[in-house]
Amino acid sequence: MTGTGPDVTDLGDARRRVEELVCGLPGAGEQPFDQPWELRAFALAVAAYHEGHYEWSEFQRSLIESIRHWESGSGGESWSYYEHWLRALESVLSSKGLLSDNEIDEETRTVLAVPRNANHHEAHREPVAVAAARTS
């Protein structure tokens, strides 16, 4: 939860639907994802594949390459499987000409420049959520 109320855009809706995956996945307590962004990165890669933007083997090669690179490093870098996943996704998308690193960098800066509590100092004069009365 962001604490800023539900995101009612299509994107927000998609995100919620994807996040529901976590609850439906097997083995509560031993979940495949630690953080919501990991699930989103997973969902994006599979959805882009299903949309026909790349072969799954291309994504896998990219993932293997990223992990190999990490393993051959001097150590000290912490392990995050889904960081490799994300890097593989970015790499395969940019190799297909669908996105560029610069675009992602720029959009990331934009997202970071708008903090979650950007309007926290403003007065909120309406309720942020209303649950309708139940009549029956």
Partner 1 sequence: MAATDTSLRTEAEITARVKALEALLIEKGVMTTAAVDRMAEIYENEVGPQLGAKVVARAWTDPEFKARLLDDASAACAEMGIGGLQGEEMVVLENTEKVHNIIVCTLCSCYPWPVLGLPPNWYKMPQYRSRIVRDPRGVLAQDFGFVIPDDVEIRVWDSSSELRYWVMPRRPEGTDGMTAEQLEPLVTRNSMIGVGPAAAPAA
Interface with partner 1 in residues 43-72 (CB under 8 A)? 43-44, 46-51, 53, 56-57, 60-61, 63-64, 67-68, 71
Q: What angle do CA 51, 54, 57 make, to 5 degrees?
A: 125
Q: How many residues bind partner 1 (CB under 8 A)?
A: 68
In order of 6, 44, 129, the CA distances from 3 in angstroms are: 8, 24, 11
> Does 122 sit near partner 1 (CB under 8 A)?
no
Q: Which stretch binds partner 1 (CB under 8 A): 90-98, 117-125, 128-136?
A: 90-98
Q: Say if CB 89 and CB 44 are below 8 A apart.
A: yes
Give residues in contact with partner 1 (CB under 8 A): 10-11, 13-15, 17-18, 20-21, 23-27, 30-37, 40-44, 46-51, 53, 56-57, 60-61, 63-64, 67-68, 71, 77-81, 83-84, 86-87, 89-91, 93, 98-99, 101, 103-105, 107-112
